Amino acid sequence: MATITLKGNEIHTLGNLPEQGSLAPGFTLTTQDLDSTALSDFKGKKVILNIFPSLDTGTCAASVRAFNKEAASLENTVVLCISKDLPFAHKRFCEAEGIKNVVMLSDYKNQNFSDAWQTRITDGPLEGLQSRCVVVIDENGYVKYTEQVPEITQEPDYQAALAVV
């Protein structure tokens, strides 16, 4: 279990992110069009996972905007923005914000992502949602960078993640 805070109050996640250098756990998530996509669909590309609780918070929305801006200039790299928000909410947000350079994915159908990646918050007011994390996976499927943001209301360290890509 990882310990993080929400506005200074201690909360916990299911566990710790995979270790750097380990093979990234597979997953299947739901796209905005209600199709399924898996990590294996991005084989041969660098993958940035932008994991967050909900687009309905300013910090989560800011992270999607920031990665959308950066993704336009990244070669052989895809940014997957992952939350438990419904695909309909993802689609509305992207249309309203002009988000086109990231892939929005939902873990609403099951918890295979949050269980495999240990990102599910297990207590407190956000229980059941994803914690705020950034992970970089290389072209061969190995974890190269992880950040479990210690205070969920803070944005991740974008530059540290992008430096690994």
What is the per-residue burial (b if ≥16 Cβ within 10 Å, else e) of 91-106?
bebbeeeebeebbbbb
Does the annotation mark 94 as catalytic?
no
**How high is the pLDDT of residue 58?**
92
**How high is the pLDDT of residue 112?**
87
Residue-number span of the structural domain to which 88 is assigned: 3-164
3-state SS assignment for residue 24: coil
Q: What is the pLDDT of residues 115-150, one digit of tens each?
A: 999 999 999 999 999 999 999 999 999 999 999 999
pLDDT band at 158 (very low <50, low <70, confident <90, very high): very high
> What's the pTM?
0.95
Q: What is the pLDDT of residues 40-61, one digit of tens each?
A: 999 999 999 999 999 999 999 9
Residue 1: pLDDT over 90 = no
25: domain CATH number? 3.40.30.10
Q: What is the pLDDT of residues 60-76, one digit of tens each?
A: 999 999 999 998 899 99
Name the domain count of the chain. Answer: 1
Query: pLDDT averaged over the chain?
Result: 95
**How high is the pLDDT of residue 59?**
93
Distance separating alpha carbons of residues 136 and 48, to the nearest angstrom: 5
Residue 164: pLDDT over 90 = yes
